[in-house]
Copies of this chain bind each other. A is one copy, B any other.
Amino acid sequence: MERVNQLILARVGSDVMLIPEIAKHLINSGGKRLRPMLTLATSALCAYQGDGDMKLAAAVEFMHTATLLHDDVVDGSEMRRGKLAARMLWGNEASVLVGDFLLGQAFKMMVEVGSLQALDVLSTAAAVIAEGEVMQLAAAKNTETTEDEYLAVIRGKTAALFAAACEVGPIIAGRAKAEQTACRSYGANLGIAFQLIDDALDYGGLSANLGKKVGDDFREGKITLPVVLSFRRGSEDERLFWKRTLEKSEASDADLEQAIAIMRKHRAIEDTVERARHYGAMAKDALALFQDSPMKRAMIEAVDFCIARSH
């Protein structure tokens, strides 16, 4: 990962100073680098020899960073990872364009690796991610969203890149289709689990002790699984509450407390974590065809770690 980080910083360079400035703001802001780590992990799992994995890992992180820049513009977000969002510092305009630049650089790096199959997987992911975001936009603030519809959204916006990041490992290692599919499945299911835990954490997760970083989704009127479950299980009054706070964006701080109370009553957060466990289990089983190895064990632990964040 250290070498991937160096590659990321090297490839974000441009004579147009605004580009490295914005990109570094986001890249250095304490992201977990989960997606590029997955590319390195599945490459190692498949005994890949070479340095293509690092370039693909950096490309995956660039794709992710581009998505974050565009997402913050689309959502009108003011904060990102506890810092001011890039759009608050440099404007929406620069955020859109620097995102485009990073996407272009990502494709350049993929081309350098020279695997058309990896390029296919990652360019398909790029289209699917954008499709998922448009779907989310169209479903935005609709409290009647079903769990299936919500899953379709996060399959696009989160799981697609996790899946692609994992699939390119066996591809560049020249492994058989079955191993590519296994890694892809591991990534897709881990991605869904990861997103669901994120959703739960935004309402405090399973912890009784609410941190200060709770409620962003609520204030932005985002429909996530804890809301979907609470809305479906709720009374008529509660449904009016969700419509007022989320659809009409009239949420106050007191409303957030009430939202969490309603969720606890319906076990919506617990069940969101349960759903995440289900996808986590699928991710682990997907790796069954690989022989035991330290990397395989680390990848399985990564799933447990992802779920354990909810506490």
Contacts and interface: CB of A to CB of B under 8 A. Distances in A.
Interface of A: 14-19, 66-67, 70, 73-75, 92-94, 96-98, 100-101, 103-105, 107-108, 110-112, 114, 116, 119-120, 123-131, 133-135, 137-138
A71 B107 CA distance: 21
Given A119-B119, A131-B16, A134-B16, A126 B103 contact: yes
A19 B126 contact: no
A123 B17 CA distance: 21
A119 to B, nearest CB: 5
A138 B18 CA distance: 8
A17 B15 CA distance: 39
A94 B70 CA distance: 11
A108 B127 contact: yes
Contacts of A67: 100
Contact of A101 (B14, B74, B134): B134
Contacts of A110: 123
A210 B104 CA distance: 39
Contacts of A74: 92-93, 96-97
A92 B110 CA distance: 29
Contacts of A126: 100, 103-104, 107
A204 B191 CA distance: 54
A98 B131 CA distance: 8
Contact of A129 (B17, B104, B138): B104
Contact of A116 (B94, B111, B134, B138): B111
A137 B103 contact: no
A223 to B, nearest CB: 15
22 contacts: A14-B131, A16-B134, A16-B135, A16-B138, A18-B138, A19-B134, A73-B73, A73-B92, A97-B134, A98-B130, A100-B133, A101-B134, A104-B123, A104-B124, A104-B129, A104-B130, A105-B127, A107-B119, A107-B123, A110-B123, A111-B119, A111-B123
Nearest to A114: B116
A221 to B, nearest CB: 13
A100 to B, nearest CB: 4
Given A93-B137, A94-B134, A100-B103, 10 more contacts: A18-B138, A73-B96, A74-B93, A94-B137, A98-B130, A101-B130, A101-B131, A104-B123, A111-B116, A112-B120
